[in-house]
């Protein structure tokens, strides 16, 4: 299993529209609008690197509102359980 974070720069004003579209994909665990150099960050989980490549190429980068992506592949994930 491959976990990655994808940072996306999108056309100004299209953040909400793109976030809603991206959230529909089964590979997406979460997507958030952020402030800074990038506009969106998505947490992606796929079977392997080939599936990640296919997802990024054929789904994410095919959206015309997406101008730039940066992908960070997670090497080790730590989880923190909070009981409140």
**Digit-coded pLDDT (tens) for 10-69:** 999 999 999 999 999 999 999 999 999 999 999 999 999 999 999 999 999 999 999 999
Q: What is the structure's pLDDT at 51?
A: 98
Domain 2-73 in CATH 3.60.21.10? The answer is: no
Sign of the torsion formed by the C-alpha atoms of 31, 28, 60 and 37: positive
Judge contact between 40 and 16, C-beta under 8 A. Answer: no
Residue 80, classed as helix, strand or coil, is coil
Predicted TM-score of the model (pTM): 0.90
Domain ranges of the chain: 2-73
């Amino acid at each position: 299993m491959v976990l990655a974070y994808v940072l996306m720069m999108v056309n100004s004003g299209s953040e909400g529209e793109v976030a809603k579209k991206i959230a529909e994909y089964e590979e997406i665990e979460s997507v958030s609008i952020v402030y800074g150099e990038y506009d969106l960050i998505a947490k992606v989980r796929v079977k392997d690197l080939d599936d990640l490549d296919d997802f990024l190429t054929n789904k994410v980068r095919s959206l015309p509102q997406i101008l730039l992506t940066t992908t960070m592949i997670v090497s080790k994930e730590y989880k923190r359980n909070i009981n409140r």
